[in-house]
Amino acid sequence: MPAPVKIILIQPLPLAQLDSPENVERALKLLERCRGQEADLICFPEYFPFSGDAALAAAARELRAYIVAGLVEESGSRRYNTATLFDREGNLAGRQRKCTLGNLERKGFGVTPGSGFQVMDTDFGRLGLAVCIDFWGQPQAAHQLTDQGADLVVNPSIFPILRGHWPQGALVRAFDNYLPVVGVNTASFVSEIAGREYPMYGGHSFAIQPPGPEDGAELSRLVRNWDDLQDWFILKGSNDAEQILTIELDLAGPRFWRHVIWERFGIQR
């Protein structure tokens, strides 16, 4: 069996001004705490550290890990809220632009919606990135990414509302697509956006692992006992403070059984 993928979720405490360069410094200090952990993938939440492409690329190269960061992309006269992926060599491996924008970020940060979703190839599998509500709030992102062969989806998020709904929405997407998911949030803090204060409800980052049984008989036993699927959460952050969380996920098992599950439940794809 392929080795599990080691993932570190960084749940940072940002400064009130998300676009402050000091958040880049905070991100680098948190990454330094990951040194020696031999992570495959390190994930930051939405809008953190907001900027710092060159510094994060250098950190990915030093740590020999893929890094997902919440960066605002400047492209011509437009800005995009992205999940940006750097590879183990420090190369820019891809950006996923957020498609579903709320009024607060459109007016406060002047961002423009992206369009469509595209998997990114890594040395541990095919990675899908979907920012905040793009993933847990509607089915299109997970559907498109899974149909492109995603083995894992990372869902960087930030929450002025609906944090409590987040894991349940993500669990629905994980079941629909029989797909491992990790969700990463900030710690709780009060953000200053366009001159106003907004509480951000932090914490409770998570990892969802659909089972990868040894054989069909074990799969049948599992399915007969499925109820609310809460045991698919193999990691839940314990509080809303700054935390670094580590988990190993099996990507090969869900990949192998996905079409069997779809057939068993009559899911049409």
- Cα 118–106–244 angle (5° rounding)? 60
* Percentage of the chain exceeding pLDDT 70: 100
For the sheet with 152-156, list strands across it: 120-121, 126-129, 152-156, 181-184, 206-208, 233-236
Strand-pairing partners, residue 70, are 49, 83
pLDDT band for position 1 (cuts 50, 70, 90): low
- Residue from 252, 218, 100 nearest 169 by CA: 100
pTM of the model: 0.97
* Averaged pLDDT, 122-149: 97
Average pLDDT over residues 24-47: 98
Mean pLDDT (the chain) is 96
CA distance 131 to 135: 7
Q: Looking at domain 5-265, what is its CATH homologous superfamily?
A: Carbon-nitrogen hydrolase (3.60.110.10)
pLDDT of residue 269: 85
Q: How far is CA 5 from CA 17, 71, 127, in A?
A: 33, 24, 12
What's the rounded mean pLDDT across residues 129-146? 97
Distance between CA atoms of residues 218 and 53, nearest Å: 45
